[in-house]
Amino acid sequence: MKKKILSWGLMFPLMFLAACSGKTAERMMPLREETAPNTESESGGSSGIPIRIYYSDNSADPLSVSVERTAEITPEILLLNLSLYEMVPDTVTVRSFGQKKQGDGLLLTLDLSEDFGEYLSSLDVSREEEVLGSLVNTFLDAYKGTEIVITVKGGALLTSHENYSQALERYPYEEASYQVTARELRREGIAISYPEITGFSEEEIQKRWNTTIEDHARTALEHAEEGSSLKVSYEVKTMNDQLLSILIEGTYQEKDAPDSYLFRYSYNIDVQSGESVRLAYHQDVEQLAEKLLAGTEYTVEGELGEELQERLFILYGDAEQLADTLRNFDYGENRESPSGFSYQEDGKVHLCIAVPHTLGDYADIVLD
């Protein structure tokens, strides 16, 4: 989902105006904050492989999606998560599971215990479709499959309503029960379109975030000099009933300046609690710093590639300094000037790392 022209985070007008007015050719990442980090509460966090669990609350609405994390992906773990969302009985077991290349796609086969067929037959038509859709979508998503054949005790899946002997494809679903719409602020040379959230179940959370986002947009407008150019776009990277992750990317060019500068920042919102989901809350930043400097377990999008590893050594020197910087990533309570930003897309964490202007201003690191 893309929207054109968004806002600038509160820290960016000040940082870029200072950088541009100084005519610096090599803009580096901001230095770490001088305050001592709270390593006990911020460096641990949850980790693991993200999995998307499809579910319905029996309201006849389209399936919704929730992202959970697990140490590994197995059919048994997927089934366990589906049972926790009350989509299948916790007594259902996996008898066998397989994957087979089929043309340009991947065919999955899943044989379940007999009680799954009995449970499905006890439901009305709409609930049967919801349960089967949650099972089909969860497995196809986890294994990147295109179709799945579901059987019970080695035989065809038959219910009082339908014969499911053929391969099944994805069922319709909606990512979120809320919406993100665009609002705009404009003046000559500047167009700022910022997101507005509607439909959150907690109105107070919705109001707080909308106020924060609008304040950032208006601050950007106020700090942009007359005759300058500010162009910004944003992309909703993850939007479900657990997480809203938005990446903002734009350019700022001071009046009469020869070059424009790229900037990025993000909003990562826990939809349930309303808190900002900071990098240190779900990543071990000490381990992450070691991996980044070692050049392992991540890829770099764009042209920078392997050169980023060398640049990280130049910028930080050792893992301790890099870990401190990573710990201060992302907006949070009383934190309007983070040292960097992250966002989440397709279950993967992306890091926006600042690099010299001659190298493109930012590198996008995708964690494995």
Domain 62-156 classification at class level: alpha beta
Phi and psi of 363, rounded to 5°?
A: -120, 145
Across the range 201-206, mean pLDDT stands at 92
Higher pLDDT, 182 or 131: 131
Q: 0.75 cut: is pTM over it?
A: no
Look at residue 25 and tell me whether its pLDDT is greater than 70: no
Across the range 152-160, mean pLDDT stands at 94
The candidate with the shortest Cα–Cα distance to 260, out of 236, 283, 230, 234, is: 230
Distance CA 364, CA 198 (A): 29
Predicted pLDDT at 17: 35
The residue type at 33: E
**In the chain, domain spans:** 2-46+176-356, 62-156
Helix and strand tally (H, E) in the chain?
Answer: 10, 16
- CATH for the stretch 2-46+176-356: 3.30.565.40
Predicted pLDDT at 335: 66
Residue 198 burial (10 A CB sphere; 0-12, 13-18, 19+):
exposed
Higher pLDDT, 335 or 342: 342
The candidate with the shortest Cα–Cα distance to 332, out of 275, 293, 288, 258, is: 275
Distance CA 346, CA 364 (A): 15
Residue 337 banded pLDDT, cuts 50, 70, 90: confident
Distance CA 69, CA 83 (A): 15
Distance CA 20, CA 18 (A): 6
Residue pLDDT, tens place only, 235-279? 889 988 889 999 988 888 998 899 988 888 999 999 989 999 999
Phi and psi of 212, rounded to 5°?
A: -60, -45
Residue pLDDT, tens place only, 134-153? 999 999 999 999 999 999 99
The residue type at 180: V
Predicted pLDDT at 47: 55
Q: What percent of the chain has pLDDT over 70?
A: 85
Least confident range from 63-67, 124-128, 152-156: namely 63-67
Ramachandran category for residue 181: left, alpha or beta (phi over 0 → left; psi -120 to 50 → alpha): beta
Residue 308 banded pLDDT, cuts 50, 70, 90: confident
Phi and psi of 3, rounded to 5°?
A: -125, 145
